[in-house]
Amino acid sequence: MSRLFRRKNIPSILAEGSETGEHSLQRNLSLRDLTSLGIAAIIGAGIFSTIGNASASGGPAVILLFAFIAVACSFSAMSYAEFASSIPISGSAYTYAYASFGELIAWIIGWALIVEYAIGNIVVAISWSDYFTGLMDGMGWHIPEYFTMDYFSAKSGYLEVEMALASAPEKTKELWDYFTNAHITAKHTAWVNAPEFFGLKVICDLPALAIVFAITALIYRGVHETKTVGNYFVGLKLIVIILVIIVGAFYINPAHWSPFAPNGLSGVLKGVASVFFAYIGFDALATTAEECKNPKRDLPKAMIASLIICTVLYILIALTLTGLVNYKELGVGDPLAHAFSLIHVDWMSGLVAVSAVIAMASVLLVFQNGQPRIWMSMSRDGLLPKRFSNIHPKFKSPSFSTLVTGAMVAIPALFMNLQEVTDLSSIGTLFAFVLVNAGVIQMETHRNENHVGFRVPYYDGRLFIPLLCLISLFVFIVFDTSDVFVHLNKRENWPTAIFWVMFITLSGLSYKYRYSIIPVLGMVSNFYLMTQLNFTNWAAFIIWLLIGLIVYFLYGYHHSKLNRSA
């Protein structure tokens, strides 16, 4: 059993990352490049898409949700920054877990990150396709509906319309609603007009395939090309976002900010998954550690700087949106363009649509760049086949891993509609954040006083954490309307019950061992955000982890470098 939790010491990890030859990467990322990549990853689907549904649920008070999640992420960002400073090696949370908890936990984290990157990228690719299709329509180039969506969405839309037609004229209003809903009619049209091949409708999302193919080809050519394109993308979308805030300020109606929280705290928290999904990009910076010119200095600064910049922009955009129109109007896939369309500023609506296409592409760029580097690190350790760590001799990129990543995203994006799995991507990231914060706590007992670089400030949590736990538990019991502790037979209450067991246990350990406040708060806040995701996502995530364990014991355990050298 002890072999499962053997840790890699930091000197050996650093030695692997500093090797030259066929397994080495080029160091050419500066602080500006890293900050730009962080902004590219964080400002994308959040501002141009998911902020709409979050605002429709929480009203103007959604800015509090952005602030809360930013604080929760800042704890994790500091923990990431310490690890990135002390272990500046590709692999992100996977590598940090290997140094803190050992191989089995590292594998679990690496497997969980596949959910974060791969499924998250599928969602972004499909969302990009929707924006691109709309933009092309506006420019007079209509892409056939059957080449802009997946098979099952088209079929479901067709059946909905046919059922509505069958019920006419008894349900005239519902019939009218179907035919005035552009999304439903597009699905119906796609199914009706789709060509057939051996009796099977040919329906697929070609724009999603095209963008993944283009991004994968760019990343394959190396990080220099990736950073250059990323910097241009970031510059363009920052200009548009600042323009949105400035122009929108002249059309704001303060009356729209009242009521501030129309659906109360529950309405604000309803957007947790959507808002958090917008913030997870900063952890992708950790995967570029071996390509940074000065990772010990620049990675921590870039993580924190990108988080601060993006939080300010998110809050300003949320205030602008909810000031332009009533929050009820924002539950759409393109809230910025829709809001300016409603107030008849059509030129801004068109500009936002163009910027959204660029923003989505930049998010895809950063995350597609991150996943291969995690696989490369796992392959170096023997947990994945050796081919995953192959470095292209000319482009100095993890070539095989990059191609596999592209295929894993492109094929599902071509045939599937995975918008609903945003929550699954978020739960994988939150799980990684929890363990990275736990890793900092673990490393506290092995502090190296000669460590040069960023270190999470130490504040004794012996009294503060238990007191915070007691106050929070009291407030929860008083205001809990679902009676979690009374109705533990309901599976929806299990995540919350597990959270309180964890918080109480962590409080006791903090009192006994004087844990630092910041990483403990990072663990608590991120685990709390996990409880806001529904039980279905928890179940799917647990099943995914169990599959990962099967893969590990069938392959990784027997090929691990640590176990072979034992």
Distance CA 81, CA 75 (A): 10
Both tokens of residue 417? 């509609």
Supply the pLDDT for residue 187.
78
521 — pLDDT class (breaks 50, 70, 90): very high
Contact between 27 and 298 (Cβ < 8 Å): no
Distance CA 530, CA 179 (A): 38
Both tokens of residue 458? 């130490």
Distance CA 490, CA 258 (A): 36
Dihedral of alpha carbons 366, 369, 372, 378, sign: negative
pLDDT above 90 coverage of the chain, percent: 8
Contact between 281 and 38 (Cβ < 8 Å): yes
Minimum mean pLDDT range among 228-237, 409-418, 430-439, 470-479? 409-418
Instruction: Count each helix (H run) and each strand (E run) in the chain, helices first.
Output: 26, 2
Beta strands 200-201; 196-197: pairing state: antiparallel
Q: Is 120 strand, coil or helix? A: helix
Distance CA 38, CA 310 (A): 9
Cα-Cα end-to-end distance for the chain: 13
- Mean pLDDT for all residues in the chain: 80
178 — pLDDT class (breaks 50, 70, 90): very low
**Tens of pLDDT along 272-307?**
766 776 676 777 777 777 778 887 788 888 888 888
Supply the pLDDT for residue 296.
78
**Tens of pLDDT along 38-52?**
887 787 766 776 777
Distance CA 102, CA 541 (A): 21
183 — pLDDT class (breaks 50, 70, 90): low
Taking only Cα atoms into account, the Rg of the chain, rounded to an integer number of angstroms, comes to 24
417 — pLDDT class (breaks 50, 70, 90): low
CA nearest 375: which of 564, 94, 103?
Answer: 94
Minimum mean pLDDT range among 86-90, 247-251, 405-409? 86-90
Supply the pLDDT for residue 450.
47
Dmax (CA) of the chain: 79
Domains of the chain: 2-139+208-440 (1.20.1740.10), 151-203 (no CATH)
Distance CA 51, CA 62 (A): 9
327 — pLDDT class (breaks 50, 70, 90): confident
Both tokens of residue 468? 């915070």
User: Who contacts 458 (Cβ-Cβ below 8 Å, separation ≥6)?
Assistant: 444, 516
Q: Alpha helix locations (H) across 388-463?
A: 399-415, 422-444
Other C-beta atoms lying within 10 Å of the C-beta of residue 306: 25
Residue 400 gets which letter from DSSP?
H
**Tens of pLDDT along 375-408?**
888 888 888 898 988 888 887 788 898 898 888 8
User: Who contacts 337 (Cβ-Cβ below 8 Å, separation ≥6)?
Assistant: 349, 350, 352, 353, 356
Give the Å distances, CA to CA, from 491 to 124, 497, 498.
Answer: 30, 10, 11
Residue 389 gets which letter from DSSP?
G
Minimum mean pLDDT range among 254-258, 305-309, 359-363? 359-363
Check pLDDT > 80 for residue 447.
no
**Tens of pLDDT along 128-149?**
887 788 788 777 888 888 888 8
CA nearest 17: which of 389, 290, 386?
Answer: 290
Supply the pLDDT for residue 466.
95
User: What average pLDDT does the segment 465-490 reach?
Assistant: 80
Minimum mean pLDDT range among 13-27, 196-210, 233-247? 13-27
User: Who contacts 543 (Cβ-Cβ below 8 Å, separation ≥6)?
Assistant: none
Residue 444 gets which letter from DSSP?
H
Supply the pLDDT for residue 25.
66
User: What average pLDDT does the segment 68-84 reach?
Assistant: 83
Supply the pLDDT for residue 517.
93
User: What average pLDDT does the segment 257-270 reach?
Assistant: 82
pLDDT above 70 coverage of the chain, percent: 84
Other C-beta atoms lying within 10 Å of the C-beta of residue 235: 12
Minimum mean pLDDT range among 153-162, 381-390, 431-440, 543-552? 153-162
Residue whose structure tokens are 């974060």: 116
Distance CA 279, CA 275 (A): 7
Check pLDDT > 50 for residue 103.
yes
Check pLDDT > 90 for residue 470.
yes
Supply the pLDDT for residue 3.
67
Contact between 243 and 345 (Cβ < 8 Å): no
Contact between 173 and 118 (Cβ < 8 Å): no
Supply the pLDDT for residue 70.
84
User: What average pLDDT does the segment 412-431 reach?
Assistant: 69
Q: Alpha helix locations (H) across 446-560?
A: 464-479, 494-513, 517-531, 535-551, 557-559
Amino acid letter for position 87: I
Contact between 452 and 94 (Cβ < 8 Å): no
Supply the pLDDT for residue 267.
78
User: What average pLDDT does the segment 9-35 reach?
Assistant: 68
**Between vectors from CA 98 to CA 94 and to CA 101, what angle results, nearest 5°?**
115
